[in-house]
Structure 1
Amino acid sequence: MRLLAITSLALAAGVKAVVVPAVAPAGHSHSMIPVETVPLGKNVTINGVLTYVSLPQHKAFDPEVAILMLTDVFGLPSPDNLVLADQWAAAGFQTFAPDYLNGDALPMDGDVTTWIVNHGAAQTNPPLLAVISALKSRGIKHLAVTGYCFGGLYTIRLVQNNTIAVGTTAHPAFLTVPDDFDVIKAQSHVAIEINNAELDTGFTPALAVETDGVLGEGQYPPGYKRVQFDGVGHGFAVRANASDPVQVAAKQGAFDTSLAWIKAHLK
């Protein structure tokens, strides 16, 4: 399996590429989930990589289908990410959330600008590809990827390289607009859906609209959809303050939209 190289095609002449900036921890949505929350899944080692695995509790599932959940920068130490993986499992999918951050998740009070220096493709690709390879060798034939924040970047990489069956992402970070979407348009056959936030300071509504200009209006036959959630900011699809109905509705809405997209395009 080839590495997910950061590729740029100059297909949009005259359009200046913009790297989606990092959003500091304080700029993320924050939930009220207590750190002592007991997850339903468990940590296992897959091909040398720590991976949180959550299986449907009360329903049969297709062993040839799986969700690969790529967490945000807070990784597996964040109970919100584990609860989200459990939500995917409850929807009927065996769900795998690999520690592609190599045991170095960003603390809630960390500095993302220094953290990202040690989380480039050279560090991130090996554990990610190791888990994907292992899952496919175990008989998983249809792999859907859902990525959040930092995970959105690597969802886009997997879509670009046709490594997965379908992709969905929320408030993606660190990717380059429009270049990364030009690459998808030029070489991918994987359907992609994006959930963005009105108040996101990273993947802003303006960048989202620019993305539409590349993939929208039927320009990308495999399938493209973008849904904007108003009144919320970066991280809204992972964390919501339970006392804020706008945040709660947006988080659930992003999940429902992603679930419907995956079900419609998983093949």
Structure 2
Amino acid sequence: MAGQQCCDNPPTLSPGAGVGHVEQIGGLSSYVCGPPDSKLAVIFVPDVFGYEAPKLRSFADKVGAAGYYTVVPDFFHGNAYDTKEPIMEWIKGHGPDQGFEAAKPVIETLKSKGVTKIGALGFCWGAKVVVELAKYAYIQAGVLLHPSFVTTEDIQAVKVPISVLGAEIDQMSPPELVKKFEDILNANPEVDGFVKIFKGMTHGWSCRYKDEDASEIRSAEEAHKDALEWLHKHIK
């Protein structure tokens, strides 16, 4: 079952992970790092395992250290996926549409703090949320990492710069689909696009890479670098 690939190599959640702290942003408990007075913000929209995943927070720390006020909201209200039920059953009560609606108050809160530009990184489940935000220009740029549920129609509708970082071995967004995303972006002169498929990588690798796998670590670091470069290009 394709959705099951979302559950491979689940992280051990750690509420205390990362150099940042948790506070309320837009009505959601959120992991926050980076300079709080920055006018540039980045929202991380996690995969189904939520905002307490240590490697996700480590990536957020990198983005915060690069000068962005970085926010990782708990879109699942303490009910992240824990592998005890079928993933698609869990999704029924935690749809990306709900994440899209929950992201709006987060964005408004950031703006009220003086933030002038917002980027968003979406991982798997979170990529669908980010692409919805991009369709209505709630954000100024987005990065989709091994996306789930994203369609060609979604990519056709985006209004802001979009980067898609895909995995070669991915049932949720196979390379054939990601290449279609690339064709659509290349054909749209009004939206800057960047698409890359990471050879040998599987769905979820950028935030769930195996510590004992040097190639996964290298590829994750490369994806992190690509994402940061996209932010530097468009969120400035």
Among all aligned residue pairs of Structure 1 and Structure 2, give the percentage whose two residues are the same amino acid: 27
1:200 is aligned to 2:170 = yes
For 1:220 and 1:208, locate their aligned partners in 2 and report how far apart those are by CA, in whole Å. Answer: 18
How many equivalent residue pairs?
235
**Aligned partner of 2:154 among 173, 180, 203:** 180
| Structure 2 equivalent of residue 7 of structure 1 | none
For 2:148 and 2:13, locate their aligned partners in 1 and report how far apart those are by CA, in whole Å. Answer: 26
Task: Give the drift of 1:36.
Answer: 8.2
Q: 1:183 to 1:23 in 2, by over 3 A?
A: farther
What's the C-alpha RMSD, in Å, of the aligned pairs? 2.2
For 2:59 and 2:86, locate their aligned partners in 1 and report how far apart those are by CA, in whole Å. Answer: 24
* TM-score computed with the length of structure 2 as normaliser: 0.91
| Structure 1 equivalent of residue 53 of structure 2 | 78
**Aligned partner of 1:243 among 184, 209, 212:** 212
User: Contact conserved, 2:17 with 2:57, CA < 8 A, in 1?
Assistant: no
Task: Give the drift of 1:240.
Answer: 1.5
For 1:103 and 1:75, locate their aligned partners in 2 and report how far apart those are by CA, in whole Å. Answer: 8
**Aligned partner of 2:113 among 121, 138, 146:** 138
For 1:37 and 1:43, locate their aligned partners in 2 and report how far apart those are by CA, in whole Å. Answer: 9
**Aligned partner of 1:88 among 32, 49, 63:** 63
* TM-score computed with the length of structure 1 as normaliser: 0.81
Post-superposition CA distance 1:191-223 (Å, at most 9, x none): 10010000111100011111122112x534330
Alignment-mate amino acid for residue 224 of structure 2 = F
Alignment-mate amino acid for residue 185 of structure 2 = L
For 2:134 and 2:13, locate their aligned partners in 1 and report how far apart those are by CA, in whole Å. Answer: 34
User: Contact conserved, 2:128 with 2:148, CA < 8 A, in 1?
Assistant: yes
SS of the aligned residue for 1:136 comes to: helix
Task: Give the drift of 1:49.
Answer: 1.2
1:99 is aligned to 2:113 = no
**Aligned partner of 1:164 among 139, 159, 165:** 139
Q: Which runs of 5+ in 2 are unaligned?
A: none
Task: Give the drift of 1:109.
Answer: 4.5
For 2:105 and 2:6, locate their aligned partners in 1 and report how far apart those are by CA, in whole Å. Answer: 28
For 1:255 and 1:90, locate their aligned partners in 2 and report how far apart those are by CA, in whole Å. Answer: 13
Structure index of larger Rg: 1
Q: Which has the higher helix share?
A: 2
User: Contact conserved, 1:144 with 1:165, CA < 8 A, in 2?
Assistant: yes
Comparing 113-122 with 129-138, which one deviates more in the overlay?
113-122
Post-superposition CA distance 1:60-97 (Å, at most 9, x none): x8611011111111002322222221122122222001
For 1:194 and 1:122, locate their aligned partners in 2 and report how far apart those are by CA, in whole Å. Answer: 20
1:263 is aligned to 2:229 = no
Task: Give the drift of 1:25.
Answer: 4.5
